[in-house]
Chain A
């Protein structure tokens, strides 16, 4: 019983982070109708940026937790956002009128470039960050106990805060309105005077900043990472996006949480070696039985 509860706590925090990354997939899919294969690697870059930021800040003698975390978040989000912009500019915009296959291959190429570039720059070995926030809440249940670290609480808080801010931007601001209009009908939006190229760039940047948020949180919690982490987590976040209904923002968050919870339960109860296999099988099963996901609208083919 306590194992299950503990896994649920872990799954919830992991799932909220999957949700953050899934937002990048779902928004890009919504606006240009294709999978941004480089997105997982944007997350990977943000892991490195987190460690770099912490190293730089402590070099300048800043040691207190709030300053470090705040500085790291700002630094990582800004730089990762720049990555998002450049990726769109280099690998996607020149292909706006090309076939889908060409864009997909270009995206895969971009993903390879990012992985190998980081590997060359930083070496292939695992990197790490020191533990920043220690301590936990301990809840006794029967014979056992459930431990909720402060870090996990922090992750949940920041993840949901990030999602809340994003929802506000998309629903209430002018930028969000233009995003939604472009998503509905790109041609019409551009006729109405929206610079759709700029909106698509903005969506890539927003997706990258959400991935950066996820990168900071996960890196602080787990400590270790390497240049390959973006691959598996990218597939999982994509699964979350499909599970929630690709193109749907609340769907991405819901899908992330459900995937995190079910994966944690599977790892705790059945096998942790095969938890990646489980998530992937889940993706195939959703695609067979409910390709539109939980909150997505079924796609009507344009004949």
Chain B
């Protein structure tokens, strides 16, 4: 560590700044500065000047910062970072355990204290928790990038709507059926592709999500195309939640209550909460089961896994199918919650949102996914004026997280095991 010229070199910082400014002028100048309007255009010089000056100011600040002692130390930490995975001591119990019962209690209380609007937002949040957990199994544990997760979501949602219309199947029969259907679709898609390099899976699933949407849009005789199709509400032992029921008594009449449309949301919420809790528990168990360990091992080294007798295709397929079926479940809830589905709910941006949840939240803990799902779905509801910037934020989030904390997806604490005597049989 012998530094000859200690001190800040302003000239080189200025040089960097000018280069960055010129480059941002080339990049942003035409696209931002020339707003197309028919075959004509309007000139937006101020916007370009604004962006370019921000880039230049940022570059200058970074240049100066990286030359300070603190900045050098920061860069060194970044270059040699090893935000290590930690193995917990055997028998270790987290001090944050008390959070789980509190969350369950709060979760059960929500429908009785929240307004109907808040309740619908929370339901949407929980649906994304479910989606995030499903994708977290695929991406976080097994290390498979699934960019068409929305396809399985659509299978679940349309499964409920079409099953009701064509076969008369209700919510309760479609809930397991949709999970199975999504898993089968995952198997058909995954089996041929999973034996190849991971990148192929990413692009094939990307295409798959888009194909599902195209079929839903174009096969109008079956799916009613862009007009969409209505989906049934769940029933409580045959009691319906509508104002009037074609057969039998509706829920409110049976209990002698005045009709309130909030009842159906409360009911959907409670079922959804139970399903989310079950999935959370299953996810927790999976990391302590042979199959969960095999997924993580495959993510680390596929060749070594094969040399140990693991059928890499089937092990990956199991993660892929399990993730898909969770997506299918979420779809059923989405359809029943909206009462209506159409193809525009299942675009690529939806897949991107779910991936953003996993990337932001998958910091080794399942709780992270839950929080991220709420942050990314509830926040935009509140900040509607920034709705246009949502996808941009997701994109920046993904790049920044991968550059800054690429380990974000790895489970960072691993369970320790008490030492045993050891025996061969």
Contacts and interface: CB of A to CB of B under 8 A. Distances in A.
A129 B37 CA distance: 10
Interface string A69-110: 000000100110011001000110011001111111110111
B34 A52 contact: yes
A99 B199 CA distance: 12
A49 B143 CA distance: 37
B122 to A, nearest CB: 26
B411 to A, nearest CB: 14
Given A109-B397, A287-B196, A52 B31 contact: yes
A238 interface: yes
A106 B39 CA distance: 35
B192 interface: yes
B16 interface: no
A53 B202 CA distance: 35
B31 A122 contact: yes
Given A56-B41, A274-B214, A288-B192, A35 B398 contact: no
A55 B36 contact: yes
B355 A105 contact: yes
Contacts of B352: 108, 112
A280 B211 contact: yes
Nearest to B391: A116
B198 interface: yes
Contacts, number: 173
Given A106-B399, A106-B403, A108-B355, A101 B394 contact: no
Interface in A40-81: 45, 48-49, 51-56, 58-59, 75, 78-79
Interface string B315-349: 00000000000000000000000000000000010
B396 interface: yes
Nearest to A93: B403
Contacts of A111: 395
B203 interface: yes
Given A52-B30, A83-B27, A284-B204, A101 B399 contact: no
Interface string B1-30: 000000000000000000000010011001
Contacts of A108: 145, 147, 202, 352, 355, 395, 398
B296 interface: no
Interface in B81-101: none
A167 interface: no
A100 B145 CA distance: 10
Contact of B388 (A34, A98, A120): A120
Contacts of B402: 95, 98, 102-103, 105-106, 109
A277 interface: yes
Contact of B406 (A37, A102, A128): A102
A100 B218 contact: no
A279 B204 CA distance: 11
A118 interface: yes
Nearest to A101: B143
B207 interface: yes
A2 interface: no
B35 A106 contact: no
Contacts of B32: 121
A284 B192 contact: yes
A276 interface: yes
A301 interface: yes
B155 interface: no
Contact of B23 (A86, A100, A104): A86
Interface string A183-223: 00000000000000000000000000000000000000000
A110 B303 contact: no
A242 B201 CA distance: 13
Contacts of B35: 121-123
Contacts of A117: 31, 392
A36 to B, nearest CB: 10
A88 B6 CA distance: 32
A110 B395 contact: yes
Interface in A118-143: 118-123, 127-130
Interface of A: 34-35, 37, 45, 48-49, 51-56, 58-59, 75, 78-79, 82-83, 86, 90-91, 94-95, 98-106, 108-123, 127-130, 231-232, 235, 238, 242, 273-274, 276-277, 280, 283-284, 287-288, 291, 299, 301, 303
Q: Give the 4 A-B residue pairs with the shortest CB-CB distance, closest first.
A: A109-B398, A112-B395, A113-B395, A116-B392
Interface of B: 23, 26-27, 30-32, 34-36, 38-41, 139, 143, 145, 147, 189, 192-193, 196-200, 202-204, 206-208, 210-211, 214-215, 218, 299, 303, 348, 352, 355, 359, 388-392, 394-399, 401-403, 406, 409
17 contacts: A35-B203, A52-B34, A55-B34, A59-B41, A83-B27, A100-B199, A102-B402, A104-B198, A108-B398, A109-B399, A118-B31, A123-B35, A130-B39, A276-B211, A280-B208, A280-B211, A283-B203
Given A99-B143, A274-B215, 14 more contacts: A90-B399, A94-B403, A103-B402, A104-B199, A105-B145, A108-B395, A112-B391, A112-B398, A113-B399, A122-B35, A283-B203, A284-B189, A287-B200, A303-B303
